[in-house]
């Protein structure tokens, strides 16, 4: 399976709610992405920003912090496990 964000071949994908469930996105649009991208998204952004500003795949891909991560992640081997450090959000 290929992650639509980082383009890496991975063993499994996880479901990311484009509008977080806490913000009413229970039955809203989702995308299947790799665990590393999923963790990175939730590490960088709070649910309010995700719901209001970053609620499409395209918006996530063009956000500068995600672009930096995706640029790095795309260079990693498919079999390499990417560890994501939780960051303190401002």
9 SS3 class? strand
Q: Report if residue 28 sits inside a domain.
A: yes
26: Cβ–Cβ under 8 A, 6 or more apart, which residues?
Answer: 17
Q: Report if residue 54 sits inside a domain.
A: yes
Q: Report if residue 8 sits inside a domain.
A: no
**Total number of domains constituting the chain:** 1
Q: Report if residue 80 sits inside a domain.
A: no
Q: Report if residue 40 sits inside a domain.
A: yes
> Measuring CA to CA, how many Å separate 41 from each of 5, 35, 86?
11, 10, 10
C-alpha 71/C-alpha 75 separation (Å) is 7
Determine the structural domain holding residue 48 and report its residue range: 14-73
Q: Report if residue 46 sits inside a domain.
A: yes
Per-residue pLDDT in tens (0 to 9) along the chain, 90 residues: 999 999 999 999 999 999 988 887 678 899 999 999 999 999 999 999 999 999 999 999 999 999 999 999 999 887 777 777 766 555
Q: From the DSSP assignment, how many helices (H) and strands (E) are in the chain? A: 4, 2
Q: Report if residue 9 sits inside a domain.
A: no
Model confidence, pTM: 0.86
Q: Which pLDDT does position 84 carry in this prediction? A: 75
Q: Report if residue 2 sits inside a domain.
A: no
């Amino acid at each position: 399976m290929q992650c639509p964000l980082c383009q890496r071949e991975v063993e499994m994908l996880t479901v990311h709610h484009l509008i977080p469930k806490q913000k009413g996105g229970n039955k809203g649009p989702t995308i299947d992405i790799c665990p590393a991208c999923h963790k990175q998204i939730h590490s960088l952004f709070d649910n309010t920003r995700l719901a209001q500003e970053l609620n499409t795949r395209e918006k996530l891909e063009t956000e500068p912090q995600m672009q930096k991560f995706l640029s790095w992640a795309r260079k990693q081997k498919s079999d390499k496990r990417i560890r994501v450090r939780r960051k303190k959000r401002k």
